[in-house]
Amino acid sequence: MGTRDVILDAAARVLAEQGLANATTRQIAKAAGFTEAALYKHFTNKADLLVAVLRERSPGFAQLARALRGERGLVADLTATALAAIDFYRAGFPMLASMFADPGTLAAHKEELRQQGAGPHKANEAVAAYLRGQQEAGRLRQDADVRAAAGLLLGACFQYAFLGHMTTPEREAGDQAPRAGDEEAAAGFVRTLLESLTPPPSPRP
């Protein structure tokens, strides 16, 4: 395993335990077994490191991209999307929560996202694009608001992940394995959403 991967693994652990605002690059470098100088050879700052952790170490990020390729059918694709979003949000809360209490850290993270052309809105755009493709294929109502639908689906996943942190026993930092009920919740979100998006069946002659 290369230096960059070791640093990312250590950063994922430290950020999950301490949160972005409280963790330092010195702590992360020490946990990885390197100096801060070695860390800065691969990442420009802590915000850059966080973006890399979210992209490369969050369980839902890659799964979300795969789900939106449209390879399994509308219901299966959206259910996989919802499960991936739940995983992603669940992993992100411990890292990101403390950031909102520190305006400087929040501003630095926003700027890093802007420079990299990234941000949480990208997930909404990707889901809306997938739904638009399904709409063009005639599987969704032509008058359906796909941007609103994407927001409703991801918003439900976000709240579900948040409530999971608030209402279930604490687990070890970094333990973001699926919880019992995730699949049922994801399927329910998709089923409810599609009730308003799919066209009614054609009347029988």
pLDDT in tens, 116-147: 888 889 899 999 999 999 999 999 999 999 99
For 5, 112, 172, the CA distances from 116, given in Å and listed in that order, are: 20, 6, 31
pLDDT at position 19 is 83
Three-class DSSP category at 138:
coil
Does CATH number 1.20.210.10 belong to domain 1-50? no
Amino acid letter, 149: A
pLDDT at position 4 is 94
Question: Is the overall model pTM greater than 0.75, yes or no?
Answer: yes
pLDDT at position 173 is 45
Closest among 58, 132, 139 to 96, alpha carbons compared: 58
State which residues of the chain have pLDDT below 50: 173-174
Q: Where are the domains of the chain?
A: 1-50, 58-197
Architecture label for domain 58-197: Orthogonal Bundle (1.10)
- Indicate if 58-197 has the same CATH topology as 1-50: no
The string of DSSP letters for 77-120 reads HHHHHHHHHHHHHHHHHHHHGGGGG-HHHHHHHHHHHHHHT--T
pLDDT at position 68 is 87
